[in-house]
Every structure is written in C-alpha cells, then in structure tokens.
Amino acid sequence: MTHNFNLFIIGAGPAGLAAAKRAAAYGVKVAIAEQDHLGGCCVNRGCVPKKLMVYAADYATAMQNATEYGWEQCHSSFHWQQFRAKRDQELQRLRHVQQQALEKAGVHLLQGHTQFIDAHTLDVEGQKYTAERVLIAVGGKPIKPKIEGIEHAVTSDELLAIEQLPQRIAIIGGGYIGVEFASVLRSFGSEVTVMNREACLLEGFDQEVQSAVRAGLIDRGIRSLCGTTADKIAQTPDGICLHLTGDCSEKLHVDTILCATGRAPNLEELGIENAGIEFDKKAIAVDEQSRTSQPHIYAVGDCTNRVQLTPVAKAEGQAAVDAMFDPSADPVDYAWIPSVVLSRPEAASVGLTEVQAKEQYGDAIECHRKTFVPLRYSLIPQKEEGLTKLVVDRKSDRVLGIHMVGENAGEIVQGQTIALQKGITRQELLRTIGIHPSTGEELFSL
C-alpha cells in the first residue's frame, strides 16, 4: 500500500519538532500536525515563559540590593502587562523560527486537531492521511485535584495569561512548578502561601536540597505549609477562602489559587482506541525504543509514563526516529538526567539522591556536603546560604550524585553530568582546579 507519508507526527512540541527534523535528515517524507501553537507547552506555556518571568523577578531583587553596592536608591514599579506583551512577542518569534526550520527541512506542517481513524489512517480537520509510521508526541496538560470549589482555582497555563498579578495567592502543590511560581510571585510583591500534602517541598529531590530551598523561600517571606492541603474552596466577599486540612487547619483568604498538583497525558479525542494502542496508567505504554503495542506507532514525551522534562522529550523524539530508520540506534539513557528548580534559591541535581543511593548501595554510601555564602551576598545584609553535596560510593570512590542549591546551580550541575556519566571519582573532583571566586568552585572542595 502506498501511504501519503513515511512518518506522521502528532504534536509539534519539543519532542515532535526534534523528531520531524531528525526524520527529514533521513530523506523520508514527513508530516507534523499541531492544533495549537508550534513549540508545545515548553515554548508557549512552560519552560520559556516561566524562565523569562524568573529573569523579570530577579531585577526586583537586584534593585533592592543595589544600594549596598553603591547605587542610589531608585524607585521603580513592575508593569505585568508590559512584560507580558514583550514576552508574548518573543514567544511568537520562537514559533516563527520553528516554522522556518520545518519548511527548510521539507516537513509538511498541518494545522488542526488530529484523530486516529485506524492504525495507519489519521484525520486532520476532515482531511484523511495515511502513514507508514506514526509518532505520538502530544505532551501533557495541568490537572486539578478533586476539591469542592476547585473551579475557582487556575492552572499554570492560566496564570501565565492572567490580566493582573494577585496581591494574595495560595499555591496548592509543592513540586517544582509550585515552588518556582511561589518564588517569582513573591519577588513581584505578592503575598504567597505554598502548601503541599507531603511532609516536604520538592518531593523526589535530595532531602537536604528540599530543606535548603524551603528555608530560602521562608527567608524571602513565603509561607510554606507542608503536610497540608485544602479540602474546600469557596468564593467570599473577602476573596477566595480555602479550608485547610492536615498539619495546618485554618481558613485562608486569597485573591488567586494556583493548582500545581501535576500533569496528565493529553490524549482526549485522539482516537487512540481506533489504533489499538495499549495504556499504562492512563499514559501510552511503550518499550525502551518508544514503540507502542502497535510496532509501527511510537510515543514520546509527556504522553508516556517516563521523565517529564523537555530535553528528555527531545531526546526521545530523536531516538525514536533513529530506531525507525537505523536498526543499530541506541535508546535514550535515563541514568544521568540533570534537573533544575528555577526558584530563588535555585536548586539542581544530577544522579542519585542520598536515599536512592543507600537503597542501591547500602552502607557503602558516604556523603560530603558544604554550606557557603556566595560572594555576591558579602555586602548585603540578607544572606542566602548555598549548599553543595556529593553522594559517593565509598568502595570505588565514584560520585553517584551531585546536588546544589545556590546561584547558577543549574548551569553548574549540568556541566558535571558528563563527568558522572564517565564515572568521575571524588578524588578526581578534589584534584580539579576551579575558578575563584565562583560558586562552581565549591564542588571541588568537598
């Protein structure tokens, strides 16, 4: 049977775009369909606009501390709508860049909702196409918990488009999204309460990272409630009222509630059942090469039950295409994936946490840690303490994990990822000469 395309990709987020360009390089006929803006969540409602907000918030802190460095006191105010317009202009530019890249690669871009008719046939806004292979890269979407009155809350998608910044905000969920928005909004002047059902913030990160970030947030005036959530939300004359339950049982009145309680695969109305694809806990089930239960259909990114990070999705998209057209291709290696929390203080990790390492290596684990105050804060009354931590296998001296809290933590830690991949030892780190004075040099003295 002759198909319209050798590969049909559903979703033009980071994974789909990376896959399309990789497939075009193999010289095959490729189509990519997107019902929203090019770039997916990352460009339009996630990583990029969020980090631009972080940069905007950093100016507030810089101006507050400028007088300690000899600058005259300057009086300024933040205009959210002006920033939002400039931000959206940049996002539009990035979408245009992606469109040009697809055109240059010879990829057919189809705009509209896509649905499976059968395992080889897809419908895009009433137009039918057939494909030899299909790649599903539709990403995920924010979800809300089942709480009475939850309709009064917004998700991160909606918060990015909000007309006015809230004076008082409650954030339900203490993962990296909740923590990052808490940090940013506090710098913009909002009164922030962040709560988490778990006994800590940033569940899954090293425990000392969790504690250091939480302490830093509290020092910045953010109220942090762990072991706490809301069981009822109601509109009142004084704003929105949350009935808290758990370690903190009280009524909290705010202007806005942000739900940052996780994401779910974006699979509604995709017609997955028509393609005969199997599921794994409401996500698409795949093997190590991203194949679904249908050998010619692949799935990558947040619509699968794997690591929900943009660089991972891109790597999965490229690796899936390689698996299609190069039988000798290697699958994605998930062992050494760096991650960052864009809060203030910033946190980053790569490798095993102390708890994970002890589960695998037992008593052979030793940890080396150091707290420090970066030079930037030497002239500023309010100090921000940093943390570096190594998790080491005592028997081999191999470094199994690096964890850091402090300025530029993400940039520093990701630079160490290849060293961990290659099996660097603690002694090799100690023999490394760093740059002085810098935050990164703290890693070489543990």
Q: Write out the catalytic residue numbers.
A: 436
Distance CA 274, CA 267 (A): 13
Residues contacting 277, CB < 8 A, separation 6+: 284, 285, 292, 293, 294, 297, 299
DSSP structural state of residue 306: S
Strands 121-124 and 256-259: unpaired
Distance CA 371, CA 385 (A): 7
Query: Cβ-count burial of 326 within 10 angstroms (0-12 exposed, 13-18 middle, 19+ buried)?
Result: exposed
17, 32 in Cβ contact below 8 A?
Answer: yes
Angle at 146 between CA 140 and CA 152, to 5 degrees: 90
CA-to-CA separations, 3 to 17, 107, 112, 194, in angstroms, rounded: 21, 16, 20, 52
**Per-state percent for the chain, helix, strand, coil, to nearest 5:** 35, 25, 35
* Beta bridge pairs of residue 371: 387
131, 141 in Cβ contact below 8 A?
Answer: no
Which stretches within 66-143 are classed as H helix?
A: 80-105
Distance CA 374, CA 371 (A): 10
Going 201 to 202 to 205 to 210, the CA torsion angle's sign is negative
CA-to-CA separations, 87 to 35, 54, 80, 92, 143, in angstroms, rounded: 22, 12, 10, 9, 25
Distance CA 50, CA 325 (A): 36
Distance CA 318, CA 306 (A): 16
Own/partner pairs, 151-154, CB within 8 angstroms, 24+ separation:
152/233, 152/234, 152/235, 152/240, 152/257, 153/233, 153/257, 153/258, 153/259, 154/256, 154/257, 154/258, 154/259
Distance CA 286, CA 305 (A): 9
Helices (H) then strands (E): counts for the chain: 12, 23
